[in-house]
Amino acid sequence: MYLSKYFLPNLKETPKEAEIVSHRLMLRSGMVRQQSAGIYSWLPLGLKVLRKIEGIIRDEQNRAGAVEILMPTIQSADLWRESGRYDVYGKEMLRITDRHKRDMLFGPTNEEMVTDIFRSYVRSYKDLPLNLYHIQWKFRDEVRPRFGVMRGREFLMKDAYSFDLDAEQARVAYNRMFVSYLRTFERMGVKAIPMRADTGPIGGDMSHEFLILADTGESGVFCHRDYLNLPVPSGDVDFDNADQLQEIVSTWTGPYAATDEMHDESEWQSVAKDDQLAARGIEVGHIFHFGTKYSDAMNAKVAGPDGAEHPVHMGSYGIGPSRLVGAIIEASHDENGIIWPESVAPFDLGLINLKSGDADTDAACENIYTSLTNAGLDVLYDDTDQRAGGKFARMDLIGLPNQLIVGPRGLANGEIELKNRKTGARQSLTIEAAINQLGGK
C-alpha cells in the first residue's frame, strides 16, 4: 500500500477525552473515530488489526471443533420473554419498536437466539456435541462507556455456544473452549490468565475470565506468579481427547487466581508472599457453564440413548475482539507509540523513502516494494514528500514490527537500514540482503 493513496488520518494533538494510552494511541494513529459515546467507526488501520484478531480467533475456534454461523444484531423481544431475561436485563439493553409496534432489541448477547436455532433443528444426542459460534456486533448501553474501544456500547464479540447431552460432556465442551482460549491469546502475543469469575446476568455455576495484566485494567486481580510461565498447549492438542483437555485445564486452574469479585483472602494468604502477584487486568474473554438454564426455559430437548427426552446442557464462551485491539496496545507500547505483535500488526513492514522525488531513491523503493509484496509481505510504503523526522515519528507511532529506511546517502554505499520497532535494533544491509531476510520469512 502506498501511503499517498491510503487513508491514515493521524492526529497531531492528543485528544483530551482519551484517559488511557491505548485510546490516545488509537486516536492519534487514525485507527478509530468516535461517532457517539462508546460507538466507533473503524478506519483502515484499525480495521486491519481487528480483522487479524478475528482471523486468529476463527482459526482457533474451528480447530477446537466449533462451527461458524452468523446471527443478526437485531432480535425479537419474544425470545427474551421466553427465557425471562427481557425484564431482568435492565437499562443495558437497547430496546427498539418496529413500525408494527413489535418489541425488538439490539442483541447484547445471543443465548436465547442460538437456543432457538438449536431447538428448531436438533432432535437427537447423535448430533451432539455441537458448538456454534459467530463474530457479531453487540450493543450494551453501558452506564459509563470509557477507555475507547475497551468499554464501548457497540462492540464486537465472538460468542460460542455449546450443546451437550449431560453435565459431564458439557464439562468437556467447556474445557475445549478453555484450552482454545489459551492458544488464541498466546497467538496474539499477549499473556491472558484464566481466573475464577462471577457469572452475572449470563448465569450458571462455573465461569472463568481471561485477563491480560495491565495497570489500566478495570479489574483487580490476585494470582500466583507461576501463571507467567505456564506452558501454552501446542497446535497439536487433541480436542477430542477429554483426558488431555482436563489435564491442561487442571494445570491452568491449579495455582490461585481470582478477580477482586471472587477473591478469597484466606486462600490468598496461603500463597507464599514472593509468589503473590496482585495487579490489575483487562478482561478479554469470559466463559460460562450454565447447564439447562436456557434449555429448560425454552424447551430445548434431545432424545438420549435411553429414548427419553433430555434438556440440553449448555455453555457460552465470549471474546472481545474490539476490546482486544486496545488491550494489546495497553500491553505493548512505548513512549513513541504502538508496538504490534507480528501476528496482529496491520502491515508487516513500513518502507520509508527519505527522498521522494529523487529518481534513484524512488527506483530503489519501488524495487523493494515490489519484491517484498511479491514475497507475500504486506508493506506500507511511505512515498510522501514529508520530511524524514515526521516519517520516522509516524512509523513509530503506528508500530509496524519492522521498518526499512531508504535514502540517497545509504544507497550511495549500496545500503539501506532495517529497524526493528520493538528492540530499536538497526542493521545496515544491501537491498538484496534485506529482501532475502524479510521476504524469506
Q: Is the dihedral of CA 430, 431, 432, 433 positive or negative?
A: positive
Question: Are the beta carbons of 355 and 407 closer than 8 angstroms?
Answer: yes
Q: How far apart are CA 402 and CA 341, in angstroms?
A: 11
- Which residue number, 151 or 191, has a Cβ lying nearer to ligand P5A? 151
318 in contact with ligand P5A (CB under 6 A): yes
Rounded Cα distance, 263 and 279, in Å: 13
Grid cell listed for 121:
433443528
315 binds ligand P5A per the rule CB under 6 A:
no
- Reference 331, options 186, 191, 224; nearest CA is 191
The per-residue b/e assignment along 272-285, b for 16 or more CB within 10 angstroms, e otherwise, is eeeeebeebbbbbb
How far apart CA 187 and CA 66 sit, in angstroms, is 18
**Stretch 251-310 residues interacting with ligand P5A (CB under 6 A):** 283-286, 288
Is residue 142 close enough to count as binding ligand P5A by CB under 6 A?
yes
Q: Please report, for residues 108, 135, 141, 160, 280, the alpha-carbon distance to residue 318 in angstroms, rounded to integers and kept in the order given.
A: 12, 10, 18, 7, 20
Name residue 208's beta-bridge partners.
Answer: 196, 287
For the bound state, the minimum distance from the C-beta of residue 336 to ligand P5A, rounded and expressed in Å, comes to 27
Touching ligand P5A, residues 51-80 (CB under 6 A): none
Residue 219 sits at the vertex; the CA angle it makes with 215 and 224, to the nearest 5 degrees, is: 80
109 near ligand P5A, judged by CB under 6 A:
yes
Q: Which is nearer to ligand P5A, 140 or 301 (CB)?
A: 140
**Residues in 412-431 at the binding interface with ligand P5A, rule: CB under 6 A:** none
Smallest distance, Å, CB 406 to ligand P5A? 40
Does the footprint of ligand P5A cover residue 184 (CB under 6 A)?
no
Asked if 140 touches ligand P5A (CB under 6 A), the answer is: yes
Which is nearer to ligand P5A, 316 or 361 (by Cβ)?
316
Contacting residue, 52, 323, 394, 419, with ligand P5A by CB under 6 A: 323
Q: Can you tell me the distance from the alpha carbon of 326 to that of 21, in angstroms, rounded to the nearest whole number?
A: 9
The answer to the question of residue 155 lying near ligand P5A (CB under 6 A) is yes
Residue 97 beta carbon to ligand P5A: minimum distance, rounded to whole angstroms: 24
Cβ-based nearer residue to ligand P5A, 151 or 419: 151
Please report whether residue 317 would count as binding ligand P5A according to CB under 6 A: yes
Of 73-81, 295-303, 316-324, 384-392, which part binds ligand P5A (CB under 6 A)?
Answer: 316-324
Q: Which residues bind ligand P5A (CB under 6 A)?
A: 109, 140, 142, 151-152, 155, 157, 159, 202, 283-286, 288, 316-320, 322-323
